[in-house]
A and B are shown apart, each in its own frame.
Chain A
Amino acid sequence: MEQKKHPYIKGLLIVSFLFVHFVITYFYVAPDEFNVNGLKQLSGNYIKPVFHQGWSLFAPELPEYNVDVAYRTDSTAQWHEFSACYLKNHHKFRVTHHGRISIGISNVARGAVWEISGNHERQEDQILLKEMVRKLAGINDGGSVEIRLSAKSVKTGITKYFEY
């Protein structure tokens, strides 16, 4: 009986839910230029816990540098290459876990270069990279670590060095 009386109620409810869900998702993921500022903040409360997503890889701008990471545990010791071996394995074995580690290191290393080169107050990526080096290279928690970042510009080929 109900079906005959209200044959479209199911469709109406489902379409309404999908409409609301994807409008909120759009406000969460869309770039600021195509977004409403207040709604972006608001949509986070609904999206972040279960539906978190982001689709801005390589855009709007691409990373400017290829960053290599080296470390040493003593200021007089030699630098050890850190990111190069993961990158080499990523190139060799395409479907394996090496790619995830290599890309993870590069993302954080680029963030650290951005923080240092721009004299930003933010130091989160520098700290995070140090922790990554410590854990992946098997250095004790108490031991000191110095990091050297070599940032080679994709366009000019000029390399800048940063140490911290």
Chain B
Amino acid sequence: MRYLHILDFFNRPFSKQKNIRLLRWGVLFFYLVNNVQLCFMLDISYGAGRISPPLGQDGISNYALNLLDQGGVVMAICMMILLMLCLFGALITSYKRTFTFVAFFAAANLTNSTYLLNSGGHHLMLLVLFFLCFVNEKKVEEGSWSNAINKGALLAIQIQICLVYLVSALYKILGDVWLEGAAMWHSLMLQEYSLPIIYNNIPDSNLILMIMTYFAIAYQFLFPILIWISATRKWVLILGILMHLMIAFVFGLFSFGVAMIICYFSFYIPKLQFSFGNRSIE
């Protein structure tokens, strides 16, 4: 019975408003970039020349989240505008849950019908958006349901990120190329996940790349543990940001790299302090 006291966590007032606010800004940035990208490929995403075949799912998913399964440029543009308005509405108004829910609906429809052109980042952002539907950081009355749900939703985002790392690590230890330490070299030799200056010049046995391979496996296994320890959290996230910047700009998976960095706001808020003469701004 004494372990039930742990559950009191859900009664105490929600105090991660800044984390949620930055997460919301991050999601807005992600979909802003995504929508700009989609504007340049409207025809192949939603028009007559669309290249992702229909998903053809049944049930609720088909009627609510796959409305663009058969394409539709005008509808896609409406969804993009709706998405941006709702994400912004969730930031500046009190109707955070309603706006985020509508934003999730629009984002899911836009994402599901372009699945051949998506990365893991698109799936991750959708999941974050789904859990954000339950958060209203302005309703944090101690002991209330709203407060408890806020806490549960943020915890869900954090667990989801841990699961991403854990599952990625499990897949990696099954591959010989990862256990031999050659995976980073091999990845950088793949044209679309590298740059010509890299794949034309790197030697096939490179100690740094081997260390980076083992680092990636170790990081992914240890993240779900070390992120919960306050002494290691900051350093885990700094290393993670470096790794995901590399994924975004060297491997060319911009949406995935950025999505992961945005998710880090659920764990930690960097304290930035600027001084102007006698005044300091935090």
Contact = CB atoms under 8 A, between A and B. Distances in A.
Interface of A: 3, 7-8, 10-12, 14-15, 17-18, 21-22, 25-26, 29-31, 33-34, 48-63, 66, 87, 90-91, 94-97, 99-104, 106-108, 128, 131-132, 135-136, 138, 154
A62 B123 contact: no
Given A11-B9, A15-B7, A55-B168, A95 B186 contact: no
B168 A11 contact: no
B61 A48 contact: yes
Contact of A8 (B8, B37, B249): B8
Contacts, number: 179
Nearest to A2: B143
B170 A34 contact: yes
Interface in B106-121: 108, 116-120
B281 to A, nearest CB: 30
A99 B192 CA distance: 8
Interface in B255-271: 255-256
B61 A63 contact: no
17 contacts: A3-B11, A11-B7, A11-B8, A15-B7, A22-B160, A33-B174, A53-B127, A62-B175, A62-B177, A90-B192, A91-B196, A94-B249, A100-B117, A101-B41, A103-B193, A106-B192, A135-B51
A3 B10 CA distance: 12
Interface string B11-55: 100000000000000000000010001101100100001110100
B51 A26 contact: no
Interface of B: 4, 6-11, 33, 37-38, 40-41, 44, 49-51, 53, 57, 59-61, 65, 108, 116-120, 123-124, 127, 130, 143, 145, 148-149, 151-152, 155-156, 159-160, 163-164, 167-168, 170-178, 183, 186-187, 189-193, 195-196, 248-249, 252-256
B192 A87 contact: yes
Given A14-B152, A101-B44, A49 B7 contact: no
Contacts of B159: 18, 22
B34 to A, nearest CB: 10
Contacts of B116: 104, 107-108
A103 B10 contact: no
